[in-house]
């Protein structure tokens, strides 16, 4: 919250620095041959263009001698003023916001150097309406509780809900030298104006928390927000109760989700196991549900593996069937060959038997002839 507010101030400063720096680079303002009156009149064009958008309330021209002329008719020799010395030394001047008790508004005075090459020509000044600081500071609340303020580099209040502190340029660090009850917060404010950011606890009669941060792009400004400890602790207690309720509901929801998912996964695992038992019987005609194949978890991977396994088994069984057919055909052919061989063998046996009988008959006949011959010879 305080950081966001400081960033708003930083952005506002950057916008204003860019606009008056842009105006200071106008060639008309750099031309030494153009009179101061004409340059001031030329500034009225920029005022009409940017006054409403950037909250410019006045533009002025300071010549090389240090004489200031504003478009609203204000004139003054500012050669002995600090901001003229800063501008002449080549630096951009940004004064902290000032509260005008008459108008009830904040205003910020700034200036930018005008140079023609390396030659100092003068400077352009801008006065901005910084009333946005009031709404910004008043808007810094913690459930409508707390106090916000902004300090310059010296610890002086430059924006606060208490307009009197701003108009009187109240400095708590200085006041703490006389009031001991302010010393604790004074030490914190010293760290603030050193550019630190933190959350600290202090006591100025009651226990409080203060969160503070620096305003980037400023000349050492810082913002702080104070809130009573009791208000914070009440909210902390409410937050703790809410956390317990949320945590309990979260546990219930998570437990329900785990139960539902566990049941769902268990059912699908049972389905896979049942299908595997079917496959174990040799029936590969049934397939798993498409839902299982589409899963991107371990069950999906398992289902894909089972499908690949079944496909492989089907290919293997098909191959075996083809081999059986081939073997069956070959068995028939072998049986036919065997029958032919048996028939051939029987035919050969018959022929051999006939040949033996014929030879025996011939031998018997021959033996008779030899017997008769022997008888005759004797």
Per-domain residue ranges for the chain?
1-130, 293-359
361, 369 contact by CB (below 8 A)? no
Paired with 122 in beta bridges are 63, 114
158/155 Cα distance (integer angstroms): 9
pTM of the model: 0.51
Pairing of strands 119-129, 105-116: antiparallel
Long-range contacts of 154-159 (CB under 8 A, 24+ apart): 154/193, 155/189, 155/190, 155/192, 155/193, 156/96, 158/96, 158/97, 158/98, 158/99, 158/221, 159/97, 159/99, 159/106, 159/133, 159/134
The CATH number that domain 1-130 falls under is 3.30.450.20
Highest mean pLDDT among 130-134, 153-157, 296-300, 358-362: 153-157
127 vs 144, residue with greater confidence = 127
Write the pLDDT tens digit of every residue in 293-349: 566 666 666 666 676 676 666 666 677 667 666 666 666 666 676 677 667 667 666
Write the pLDDT tens digit of every residue in 55-89: 888 899 999 899 999 998 889 999 999 888 888 88
Does the pLDDT of residue 355 top 70, yes or no?
no
Residues found in the chain: 378
């Amino acid at each position: 919250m305080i950081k966001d507010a400081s960033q708003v101030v930083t952005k506002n400063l950057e916008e204003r620095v860019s606009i008056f720096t842009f105006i200071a680079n106008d060639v008309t303002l750099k031309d030494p041959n153009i009179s101061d009156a004409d340059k001031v009149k030329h500034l009225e064009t920029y005022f009409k263009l940017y006054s409403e958008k950037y909250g410019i309330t006045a533009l002025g021209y300071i010549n090389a001698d240090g004489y200031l002329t504003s478009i609203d008719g204000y004139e003054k020799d500012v050669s002995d003023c600090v901001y003229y010395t800063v501008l002449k030394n080549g630096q951009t001047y940004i004064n902290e916001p000032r509260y005008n008790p008459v108008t009830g508004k904040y205003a910020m005075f700034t200036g930018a150097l005008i140079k023609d090459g390396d030659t100092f020509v003068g400077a352009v000044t801008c006065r901005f309406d910084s009333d946005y600081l009031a709404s910004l500071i008043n808007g810094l609340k913690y459930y409508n509780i707390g106090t916000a303020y902004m300090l310059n580099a010296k610890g002086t209040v430059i924006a606060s809900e208490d307009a009197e502190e701003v108009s009187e340029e109240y400095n708590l660090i200085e006041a703490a030298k006389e009031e001991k009850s302010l010393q604790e917060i004074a030490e914190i404010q010293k760290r603030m104006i050193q550019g630190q950011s933190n959350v600290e606890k202090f006591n100025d009669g009651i226990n409080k928390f203060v969160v503070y941060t620096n305003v980037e792009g400023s000349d050492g400004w810082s913002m702080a927000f104070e809130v009573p400890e009791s208000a914070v602790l009440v909210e902390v207690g409410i937050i703790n109760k809410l956390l317990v309720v949320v945590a309990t509901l979260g546990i219930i929801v998570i437990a329900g989700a785990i139960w539902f998912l566990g049941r769902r996964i268990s059912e699908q695992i049972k389905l896979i196991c049942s299908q595997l038992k079917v496959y174990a019987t040799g029936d590969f005609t049934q397939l798993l549900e498409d839902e299982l194949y589409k899963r991107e978890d371990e069950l999906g991977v398992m289902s894909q593996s089972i499908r690949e396994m079944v496909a492989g088994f089907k290919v293997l069984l098909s191959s075996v069937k083809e081999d059986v057919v081939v073997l069956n055909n070959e068995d028939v052919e072998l049986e036919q060959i065997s029958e032919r061989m048996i028939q051939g063998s029987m035919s050969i046996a018959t022929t051999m038997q006939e040949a033996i009988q014929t030879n025996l008959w011939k031998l018997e006949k021959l033996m008779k002839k030899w017997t008769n011959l022997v008888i005759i010879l004797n």
